[in-house]
Structure 1
Amino acid sequence: MNSSHPFLDIPPGGGPHRRRPRGAVRSLTAVAAVAALALGGAYAAGLGPFESDTGPDPEAVAAARAFLADWAAGRLPQAAARTTGPDRAEQVLASFTTGLDLGTPRLMAGEPEESGAGDGTLTVPFTAKMPVTGLGTWTYASELPLRKQKDGAWKVEWTRSLVHPRLSGTEKFRLEREETAPVEATDRSGETLSAATHPLLTPVLAQLAEGGGGPRGAVLLVDRETGEVLRTEASFGGRGTGKGDKPVRTTLHAGWQSAAERALARAGGKNAALVALRIDDGEILAVANAPASGFNRAVSGTYAPGSTWKIVTSGALLLKGAVAPDDVVDCPRYQTVGKRFQNVETSAHPGATFREAFTESCNTAFIGLRGRLGEGELGDVAKQYFGVGQTWHVGVPSYDGSVPVPRDATEKAASMIGQGRVQANPLIMASVTATAVSGTFHQPTLVRGAEDTTDTTPLPPEVAHRLRALMRATVTEGTARVLAGLPGDIGAKTGTAEVSDDRDNNGWMVAHRGNVAVACVVEEGVTGAGSAGPVIRALLSAVPDS
């Protein structure tokens, strides 16, 4: 698994650009899985004290949530130890996922309920969201029975059905995938696109199968002995458009796609993704994913966008007149809001203007401005002006971003710099860039004629003008100087997003030139300028007429 799995919503820990020295060399997949599991389970299960002074015993609720956290994080021995039947519990929890191809689950506890039977039992309902690789999310509800033990400790009363209400000694689950023929697709001019000619388009072509319905499959309840299918628990994938053997006409440009794939080779073999789209209508020109055998991380991935998100934060501040480019905002080495945030390489820029804070990507300056935005204002601006968090109909399954209302001051500080629970991907950030420089959001599309249900407000011309100027200055005198010297009036923003203490930071860069906006993320790229920067430069060098 990878930490950018589309169903993870876990904020990274620590400061925005801080990481500890790496230990012994481990595979990227293993590190990503451990980091995702360790963080994902605890947060998704909703760990924390039970705040009410009345009602169910807080220790019982804590026991239930700790069980869910361990289960979600893959700590099965620890989860089993919290039950009344640890040996059997560990065996069932491990075998439940066999053959189902599940990713990291999200297990969300509900409000506890007292049984009313006077037998010392308590029930905690929970919702399980199980991501089925390449298909979608299997969501169901179950509940945890808890009983107080003789020693006073609360434990989960073990029963197989708590894992899923229909799991039993005679019934289990099986995943079946429906094979779909490779899709035939063409670019905007009718040129054929295939995995052979454009290998980094492979994940997209798989989703275009059956006219955008994508891969199909189902989770089935079957008899353990006979294998007889008893019912369908969850089904995935659309029925297609009935176009038969007709190729799918896309908005892609074969030349841009080829250039994007060559440019992504500059990522040095790391997991990476890139999107290029037209600014005036949102039509996608190129989508490249590395490795080709992975999922469509460019469109479906969930990443902290890091400092590229400062485009949206700046837009929010400028919209309400909370800051002007020449205002002095200062940029100290550190800013403490519940925890210590810092700048890349702990740099400081005393007396910096807001313009300099943007071009030098000063985290502490932006965090220092958090009080000038309301608690949910950043998310409101992202949705209303940039379309982030609305439902997009791209033509393939997409993740359309999330900017939750911060739960505390620390999370608000993190959201100002694209960390915390702010989630995006290259498609979203390419669209954010296009919206910032044009002033108008256009739903990104991969297939012409896609439905558009978005509803946004154009940015005031002065705000768009100032955002363009800030991005241009970032190229001429700031952190995006790697693009300086290329032809055209290029604007850009770099980003470095923390993932976890034992993984290098993800590197980001967004840029625009002419009528095209691009965005690139390189997992464990360390810095945006150093990893995504060469990719974007290679792309823009190959297509100088953009």
Structure 2
Amino acid sequence: MTHTSGRRRTSRSPLKVTAAAAATLALTAGGAYAVKIGPFDNGPNALDPAAAAQARAFLSDWSRGRYDAAAGRTTSPARAGEVLRSFTEGLDINSPRLTAATAERADDGVVSVPFTAKMPVKALGTWTYTSRVRLREEKGTWKVDWSLGLVHPHLSDQAKFRLEREETSTPDVADRHGKTLTGDTYPSLQPLLTQIASGDGGPRGKIRLIDRVTGQTKRTEITFGRKEAPASARTTLDATWQAAADRALGAEADGKNASLVALRVDNGEILAMANSPATGFNRAASGTYAPGSTWKIVTSSALLLKNAVTPQTIVDCPKHLIVGKEFHNVETSEFHGATFQKDFMESCNTAFISLRGKLGDAETGDVARKYFGVGQEWHVGIPSYDGSVPVPKDETEKAAAMIGQGRIQANPLIMASVTATAASGHFHQPTIRPDTDDRTTTTALPRTVVNQLQTMMRATVTGGTAHILADLPGTIGAKTGTAEVAEDEENNGWLVARRGNVAVACVVEQGVTGGGSAGPILHRLLEAVPDDPS
């Protein structure tokens, strides 16, 4: 319950040549003159700074499409201008990057600057290669020694490049048991099917080096896409859970924007991902919301990890608390002499804020990243937002962060994962495809902390703000959340829960309270699917 301010991815047709499309090159981060040329010294073999400056200027002009200026820095301006303009024609290259390495001096006095070119080819991938800029001194002025090999080592008067695309069909998408998933039957999946299937199907193509006269292929520079697309792209989704999730949102979202995620606790596999409305933006995985008091799972973990509190520690819960601004509880509730567990059960904002001095400014974010994987790079199998927990700018923002407000951002996918981690003690990167790459590195929560979290989450169902789930079978633990968006808008409502091997999270925009808006949705879902998935 938070009341602070916050704003708040099989048949084939013959290969075909694409239409031409010119591109503008861009240097990597650092700007026009961030190319590394050096190091320089004053010895007999020291590089002339003027040569470095000319190399930087040439790369800067070329990268920005200033072809005349770039060509003017070469030993052959007319030819250089012609080639630089025509090089990317027909290759569908958009906004590539040039990254220069350290300059080198050759025995003949030439200065050489190696560089890497990364050229994104529309809808296919990135063509990466290396080349080098060579400079000679002519009458006291350094000039780029022009050659076609500067642009690409294989470019010549006899050979040029051609892009060939191959049209492919998109494979069907199946659930974990092989059942075909369609947008008609599972409405929330309609916008996601192409993203899910793109890992197995999607466009394919090649960039080839061809003879300028005969058009015959001399070599293939790069191949994009998989060689073969399977008939069906398997997912971790469970058709039964997905159908129940769509029905729950349809019946209980009351026309509001809402989304939910259900995933397995033991491995992070996504069982269901649903949005209302079903078409359009995937709020469940790509939304950016203040998580409100559901974030108190992470805050509590940070406090418990350093023994700042125990569930039985007395932490008073007054109606109001001023930390640069006034913070209060829902309906200005208060619980004098409350234990920390009682504060968690009743989602007392003021109690949590009063404990902010127990944690360093960056400590909650460090715990979120180290133990819960929040803010690390996730490879879910579709586009996703992986969370943000910035260091608070001041004491007021730190107070807000203690209760999931301020600049903290998450979504149902993140909060379902947080709930699963709290249940097992181990973070498992959420996935919707069984073959996704996991590059995260986390540490397991101590068993004592896991037990304390589960005790408090269970008490939140049996006697706290998540009592709407109390009549369901199974040992359910949960946490509600209410997150302010703006003064003139109703609060977003949150609820996260864990039952058996499944963790779920739901957000309802302008839902007022978590128990009142997200509660009925998750109740209907868990009631419809009483058993753990196989």
Structure-2-length-normalised TM-score: 0.64
**Structure 1's 501 and 240: CA in aligned 2 closer, same or farther, altered over 3 A?**
farther
State the distance in 2 between where 1:478 and 1:240 align: 52
User: 2:372 corresponds to which residue?
Assistant: 386
**Structure 1's 214 and 457: CA in aligned 2 closer, same or farther, altered over 3 A?**
farther
User: 2:243 corresponds to which residue?
Assistant: 258
Q: How does 1:451-466 map to 2 (within 5 A)?
A: 451-466=437-452
State the distance in 1 between where 2:510 and 2:201 align: 32
How far off is 1:210 after superposition?
1.9
Please, which of 430, 438, 448 is the counterpart of residue 444 of structure 1? 430
**Structure 1's 180 and 304: CA in aligned 2 closer, same or farther, altered over 3 A?**
farther
Contact 2:2 2:481 in 1 (8 A): no
Corresponding position: 1:514 with 2:500: yes
Corresponding position: 1:282 with 2:268: yes
Corresponding position: 1:484 with 2:470: yes
Greater mean deviation of Cα atoms: 491-500 or 198-207: 198-207
User: 2:181 corresponds to which residue?
Assistant: 193
State the distance in 1 between where 2:421 and 2:227 align: 34
User: 2:486 corresponds to which residue?
Assistant: 500
**Structure 1's 429 and 215: CA in aligned 2 closer, same or farther, altered over 3 A?**
farther
Contact 2:200 2:229 in 1 (8 A): no
State the distance in 2 between where 1:501 and 1:344 align: 15
Greater mean deviation of Cα atoms: 453-462 or 345-354: 345-354
Q: What is the letter of the counterpart of residue 244 of structure 2? A: A
Contact 2:203 2:225 in 1 (8 A): no
Contact 2:426 2:445 in 1 (8 A): yes
Task: Kindly tell me the number of residue pairs found equivalent between the two proteins.
Answer: 358
Contact 1:316 1:381 in 2 (8 A): yes
Partner SS, residue 410 of structure 1: helix
State the distance in 1 between where 2:342 and 2:365 align: 24
Contact 2:291 2:405 in 1 (8 A): yes
How far off is 1:368 after superposition?
0.4
**Structure 1's 183 and 534: CA in aligned 2 closer, same or farther, altered over 3 A?**
farther
State the distance in 1 between where 2:488 and 2:226 align: 45
Please, which of 407, 411, 416 is the counterpart of residue 430 of structure 1? 416
User: 1:526 corresponds to which residue?
Assistant: 512
**Structure 1's 239 and 278: CA in aligned 2 closer, same or farther, altered over 3 A?**
farther
Contact 2:498 2:504 in 1 (8 A): yes
State the distance in 2 between where 1:505 and 1:186 align: 37
Contact 1:508 1:522 in 2 (8 A): yes
State the distance in 2 between where 1:241 and 1:320 align: 48
Per-residue CA shift, 1:300-324, capped at 9, x if unaligned?
Answer: 1110000000000000000000001
> Identity percentage over the alignment?
66
**Structure 1's 492 and 254: CA in aligned 2 closer, same or farther, altered over 3 A?**
same
How far off is 1:520 after superposition?
0.3
**Structure 1's 212 and 391: CA in aligned 2 closer, same or farther, altered over 3 A?**
farther
Please, which of 206, 210, 213 is the counterpart of residue 194 of structure 2? 206
**Structure 1's 400 and 212: CA in aligned 2 closer, same or farther, altered over 3 A?**
farther
State the distance in 2 between where 1:430 and 1:338 align: 32
Contact 1:429 1:510 in 2 (8 A): yes
Partner SS, residue 496 of structure 1: strand
How far off is 1:244 after superposition?
2.8
Q: What is the letter of the counterpart of residue 429 of structure 1? A: M
State the distance in 1 between where 2:281 and 2:202 align: 12
User: 1:417 corresponds to which residue?
Assistant: 403
Q: What is the letter of the counterpart of residue 386 of structure 1? A: F
Q: CA RMSD in A?
A: 2.5
Structure number, greater radius of gyration: 2
Partner SS, residue 510 of structure 1: strand
State the distance in 2 between where 1:331 and 1:387 align: 30
State the distance in 2 between where 1:420 and 1:437 align: 26
State the distance in 1 between where 2:316 and 2:172 align: 54
Partner SS, residue 203 of structure 1: coil
State the distance in 1 between where 2:419 and 2:201 align: 28
State the distance in 2 between where 1:291 and 1:332 align: 39
Corresponding position: 1:334 with 2:320: yes
Poorly superposed stretches of 4+, deviation over 6 Å: 179-182, 212-216
Corresponding position: 1:541 with 2:521: no
Contact 1:436 1:467 in 2 (8 A): yes
**Structure 1's 371 and 447: CA in aligned 2 closer, same or farther, altered over 3 A?**
same
User: 2:340 corresponds to which residue?
Assistant: 354
State the distance in 1 between where 2:487 and 2:524 align: 31
Q: What is the letter of the counterpart of residue 521 of structure 1? A: V
State the distance in 2 between where 1:512 and 1:264 align: 18
Partner SS, residue 311 of structure 1: helix
User: 1:246 corresponds to which residue?
Assistant: 231
State the distance in 2 between where 1:213 and 1:367 align: 50
Contact 1:183 1:208 in 2 (8 A): no
User: 1:172 corresponds to which residue?
Assistant: none
How far off is 1:17 after superposition?
2.3
Please, which of 316, 323, 331 is the counterpart of residue 345 of structure 1? 331
State the distance in 2 between where 1:241 and 1:531 align: 44
Contact 1:206 1:215 in 2 (8 A): no
Contact 1:305 1:419 in 2 (8 A): yes
**Structure 1's 247 and 514: CA in aligned 2 closer, same or farther, altered over 3 A?**
same
Structure 1 residue ranges without an equivalent (≥5): 1-14, 20-31, 37-178, 217-237
How far off is 1:201 after superposition?
1.5
Q: What is the letter of the counterpart of residue 412 of structure 1? A: K
State the distance in 1 between where 2:170 and 2:382 align: 15
State the distance in 1 between where 2:359 and 2:201 align: 40
Corresponding position: 1:473 with 2:459: yes
State the distance in 2 between where 1:445 and 1:212 align: 15
How far off is 1:488 after superposition?
0.2
Partner SS, residue 505 of structure 2: strand
Per-residue CA shift, 1:453-487, capped at 9, x if unaligned?
Answer: 10000000000000000000000000000000110
